[in-house]
Structure 1
């Protein structure tokens, strides 16, 4: 395989890795930012994250690949609790694209902090594998990332953006009063 074919040097992969690193750093350093700054940064990062994920080259699942998980339950919980506290009353929002809706008479309430922490877990695991891995590990990590994007974190990203949009426009509405 020549250098031009290596996923670890592919321009779309490298751009995605840059956005992932920024997202992870923002969540890891959430305590350093006021709520309004954090929300504004998420408003910009989420669509960029989704776009860059959609531009990744498709990879096939390897038959013997294994991706190491690096985010522990304690890591996830620290991110979640910090965000839950930071977002306060804006943490929960009504979900409209949840399969449970068809079986439930009650609205589905979800946590923005949980969405962010779940996205973080997949992205941080990918990023760590990317930086530590061989070309084969990078390919396997990309496959897993794309699979997880299709299964859940892609939807979490757009759902979170909808909630972030509501928080920002609600703030703007209250500023006009």
Structure 2
């Protein structure tokens, strides 16, 4: 049974992918705010995804091209990967964050569209916890800083 939280995540994931796929068409001043709003919604929706048990079977793999994203001067930033250590900050790329999030949520959308709803939910939750969730947090931090410099 597909639950309302997974359906809500699908809608938010589709909105994020649409934004990334049409990024070049957005107005310059709207891009940072749109990204920040959409990634925040995506992150919040992922927190409510239900658990799925996929003890049998494999998840299909889809091939697709990642959209180009042009962020100009806002593309690189510094981050700490573990806030509980005194490690040095590392250089990060907002383009990498946005494309990694895109890849993981798009794969789930494609699973959903191929009638693999439990697999899509499992994929979204697993990749959120193991991969794209960290990219989303880092991207939101960088985008939040970019909003402050635009005003």
Q: Is it true that 1:162 corresponds to 2:129 in the alignment? A: no
* Structure 1: 5+ residue stretches without partners: 1-5, 173-177
Runs (4 or more) in structure 1 with deviation over 6 Å come to none
TM superposition shift of 1:98: 5.2
Q: Which has the larger radius of gyration?
A: 1
Aligned residues: 150
Give the conservation status (yes or no) of the 8 Å contact 1:70–1:128: no
Q: Which has the higher helix share?
A: 1
* Structure 2: 5+ residue stretches without partners: none
1:152 & 1:35 partners in 2: Cα distance?
28
Query: So what's the TM-score if we normalise by structure 2?
Result: 0.90
Aligned partner of residue 110 in structure 1, secondary structure? strand
Corresponding residue number in structure 1 for 2:26: 33
2:14 & 2:91 partners in 1: Cα distance?
29
Corresponding residue number in structure 2 for 1:108: 90
User: 2:102 pairs with 109, 113, 120, which one?
Assistant: 120
Question: Cα RMSD (Å) of the superposition?
Answer: 1.8
Q: Is it true that 1:129 corresponds to 2:108 in the alignment? A: no
Query: So what's the TM-score if we normalise by structure 1?
Result: 0.78
